[in-house]
Amino acid sequence: MGRNALQLSTAISHGINIGNTLEAMGGETRWGNPLITKAYIDLLKQSGFNAVRLPCSWDQYADASTARIRTDWLDRVEQVIRYCIDNDMYVLLNIHWDGGWLESNCTAEKQAITNAKQKAFWEQIATRMRHFDEHLLFASANEPAVKDAAQQEILLTYHQTFIDAVRSTGGKNAYRVLVVQGPMTDIETTNKLMTRLPADEVPDRLMVEVHYYTPWNFTGMTKDEAWGNQFFYWGKGNHSATDLAHNPTYGEESTVDAAFRSMKTQFIDKGIPVLLGEYGCQLRTNLTGDAFRLHQASRIYYIGYVTRQARANGLLPFFWDTGSSGAIFDRHSNRIEDSSALDALLK
């Protein structure tokens, strides 16, 4: 546990999410993915990844009156962490959306009850996992809904509660690297509102997390709207000469460059590492012919460009993979599903 956050960040090279699984509401397989197996973690390691983000739900496995988390769920999460660490992989374990009890409630009205649950959950999680070495990092939240300075101050209390709860459990948690999320995990909002970090009794053991899905018209939008169309294509050399309505009108290379530079200036240049905890883009399987081929080329270029620019600016990229359309891996058969996207991530 001797390395601080900056030193540890140099060891994390290629990260991936195991999304829509441990955080699935209704159980690990409820959203269509199989149980996470050692064989799948082995595949991730063999394919070139050395870090895994584990989005995780806790509230649905806890007693509503006592906030006590079920032992069998703690056992299961610990098992998955061990699969990773036994493979010499780093693990980022969080409290994900989890029904929105934290990230939808950065308000004065909900502050006390949310802090109480944050404290109870992290004391239990940290106590159970405190024997793991520095390969395990804890992350306070996911995408907290914060839009102004007043809400940001409330979010800071949630992060402070997280830090204090983890440190109080002792063992390796006394020095473990911890990750706090920017408001909305949106880069522009984080650059504007996250002007300070919560306090930590151990110096230089905090990282910041942001996500990147810009432009949403390309990465996530699924139908044209009155306010704007979907973007099927992205990047230099990838605009359509015929489907002009679905060419991008913003959010291309220069936007990526500016966003990541802002995180470098605000945090990384000051010795605070930044995780790009999620990024990615959908695969539009409804397209056909030349439109689909150009979309595929755009998607691979986007994945590669965002990954390269993140690394160039010192951010640690974790690709968002949900095991469904556009996934890198087929989790049911434990094989590579999209070798072109994988190559783009690992270049």
Tokens of 7: 């030193």
CA pair distance 189, 184, nearest whole angstrom: 7
Confidence of residue 35 (pLDDT cuts 50, 70, 90): very high
Query: Could you tell me if 27 and 35 are in contact, meaning their C-beta atoms sit under 8 angstroms apart?
Result: no
**Amino acid sitting at position 16:** I
What does DSSP assign to residue 61?
G
Tokens of 39: 């064989």
Distance of CA 96 to the CA centre of its chain: 9
The residue extents of the domains of the chain are 5-346
pLDDT at 248: 99
pLDDT at 325: 81
For residue 144, whether the previous peptide bond is cis, meaning omega lies within 30 degrees of 0, is no
The residues that are catalytic are: 143, 278
Percent of the chain scoring above 70 in pLDDT = 100
pLDDT at 284: 98
Express each pLDDT in 306-335 by its tens digit. 999 999 999 999 999 999 888 999 999 999
Express each pLDDT in 170-216 by its tens digit. 999 999 999 999 999 999 999 999 999 999 999 999 999 999 999 99
Domain 5-346 has CATH 3.20.20.80: yes
Residue 166 has pLDDT above 90, yes or no: yes
Query: Could you tell me if 232 and 243 are in contact, meaning their C-beta atoms sit under 8 angstroms apart?
Result: yes
Express each pLDDT in 88-118 by its tens digit. 999 999 999 999 999 999 999 999 999 999 9
Confidence of residue 346 (pLDDT cuts 50, 70, 90): very high
CA pair distance 328, 213, nearest whole angstrom: 17
Confidence of residue 2 (pLDDT cuts 50, 70, 90): confident
Half-sphere exposure of 218 (CA within 13 A, CB side): 29
Express each pLDDT in 230-246 by its tens digit. 999 999 999 999 999 99
pTM: 0.98
Judging by DSSP bridges, how do beta strands 329-330 and 335-336 pair with one another? antiparallel
Residue 1 has pLDDT above 80, yes or no: no
